[in-house]
């Protein structure tokens, strides 16, 4: 079992879209039993798969009042399940602070590991209890970043903030998340970080939120679908090297 966190201190950088598409790659391309765990109260991951919880109990799972496996719901895809977010996550940081168990998320993920081979965490754009718990639970952290000449600097800042909040942390992998090679500055960002995986800026990716399907389903030959597939392969390779 491996836990892959999609994380950034920033919002709107493509975390949820990346998490949803990677979860689909894991379940469909790698044929892994996969759980997408939505930790962001905004609930974007559930929206992208067009599934919603019957009962709001996301924070009850973390309080251990509800068994995590009981809160998991199926998606339209084989091997792919969702642990959805809901409004109860609004108080998540306070709840985790009050519980005082530093490895609560890691422990629950460990239990879920009896059922799932890959757990993908869609994280809220925040530093605090939740990010600290994510650092303790994850085997690898993916940081999506829109390309700019300052991408490397903004990646360093995210790493610095992670380090400030977590003494130990898993390997952190940057991804250029909305790259448009027609733009000069985007090309420069690509050239400055040639080894970073890229996801193209693409209307096909935007369509995910309209069709409520991952790109691999409705545009399998698109550069975006290839980008997510290659990123997933890079993650599996990283996990194998740990
Ligand atoms: N590669 C991409 N190309 C085009 N639009 C994208 C891409 N990735 C994300 N988006 C769009 O950017 C917005 C923010 O993405 P989202 O995944 O919700 O970010 P976050 O979870 O970091 O807040 C959404 O409208 C999404 O459709
Ligand atoms: Mg999000």
Check pLDDT > 80 for residue 207.
yes
- Residue of 9, 11, 14, 182 with the most ligand 1 atoms within 8 Å of its CB, for mutation: 14
Judge if the beta carbon of residue 178 lies within 6 A of ligand 1: yes
> How many distinct helices (H) and strands (E) make up the chain?
12, 8
pLDDT tens per residue across span 130-187? 889 999 999 999 999 999 888 888 899 889 888 887 778 899 999 999 999 999 999 9
Q: Span 101-118, mean pLDDT?
A: 97
- pLDDT for residue 111: 97
C-alpha–C-alpha distance, residues 35 and 172, integer Å: 20
| Domain extent at residue 99 | 2-240
User: Which residues, other chains included, contact 34 with Cβ-Cβ below 8 Å and sequence gap of 6+?
Assistant: 23, 26, 27, 79, 80, 81, 116, 117, 118, 119, 120
- pLDDT for residue 233: 97
Ligand nearest to the CA of 200: 1
Mean residue pLDDT across the chain: 94
Q: Span 29-54, mean pLDDT?
A: 95
Check pLDDT > 90 for residue 33.
yes
- pLDDT for residue 15: 97
- pLDDT for residue 199: 98
User: Which residues, other chains included, contact 171 with Cβ-Cβ below 8 Å and sequence gap of 6+?
Assistant: 140, 141, 238, 242
> Which residues are paired to 219 by β-bridges?
none
Read off the CATH number of the domain in which 99 is found: 3.40.50.300
Judge if the beta carbon of residue 201 lies within 6 A of ligand 1: yes
C-alpha–C-alpha distance, residues 105 and 11, integer Å: 22
Residue 150 burial class via C-beta count within 10 angstroms: exposed 0-12, middle 13-18, buried 19 and up = middle
Query: What total number of domains does the chain contain?
Result: 1
pLDDT tens per residue across span 63-107? 999 999 999 999 999 999 999 999 999 988 898 999 999 999 999
Lowest mean pLDDT: which of 41-45, 145-149, 238-242?
Answer: 145-149
- pLDDT for residue 166: 77
**Residue carrying structure tokens 């718990």:** 133
- pLDDT for residue 36: 98
Q: Which of 136, 144, 133, 121 is closest to 196 using CA atoms? A: 144
Contact between 77 and 161 (Cβ < 8 Å): no
Judge if the beta carbon of residue 205 lies within 6 A of ligand 1: yes
Check pLDDT > 80 for residue 129.
yes
User: Which residues, other chains included, contact 184 with Cβ-Cβ below 8 Å and sequence gap of 6+?
Assistant: none
Which atom of ligand 1 is the closest one to the Cα of 19? 17
Judge if the beta carbon of residue 231 lies within 6 A of ligand 1: no
- pLDDT for residue 90: 92
pTM over 0.95: yes
C-alpha–C-alpha distance, residues 218 and 26, integer Å: 17
Structure-block tokens of residue 204: 């096909």
């Amino acid at each position: 079992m491996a836990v892959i966190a999609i994380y950034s201190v920033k919002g709107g950088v493509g975390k949820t879209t990346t998490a949803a598409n990677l979860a689909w790659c894991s379940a469909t391309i790698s044929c892994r039993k996969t759980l997408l765990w939505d930790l962001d109260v905004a609930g974007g991951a559930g929206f992208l798969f067009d599934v919603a919880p019957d009962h709001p109990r996301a924070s009850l799972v973390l309080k251990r009042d509800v068994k995590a496996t009981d809160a998991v719901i199926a998606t339209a895809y084989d091997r792919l399940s969702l642990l959805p977010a809901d409004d109860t996550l609004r108080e998540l940081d306070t709840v985790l602070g009050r519980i005082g168990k530093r490895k609560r998320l890691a422990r629950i993920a460990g239990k879920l590991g009896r059922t799932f081979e890959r757990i993908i965490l869609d994280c809220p754009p925040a530093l605090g209890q939740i990010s600290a718990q994510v650092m303790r639970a994850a085997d690898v952290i993916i940081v999506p970043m829109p390309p700019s000449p300052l991408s490397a600097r903004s990646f360093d800042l995210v790493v610095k903030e992670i380090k400030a909040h977590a003494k130990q942390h898993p390997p952190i992998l940057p991804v250029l998340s909305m790259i448009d090679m027609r733009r000069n500055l985007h090309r420069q960002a690509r050239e400055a970080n040639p080894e970073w995986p890229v996801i193209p800026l693409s209307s096909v990716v935007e369509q995910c939120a309209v069709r409520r399907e991952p790109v691999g389903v409705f545009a399998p030959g698109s550069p975006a679908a290839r980008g997510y597939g290659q990123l997933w392969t890079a993650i599996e390779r990283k996990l194998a090297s740990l």
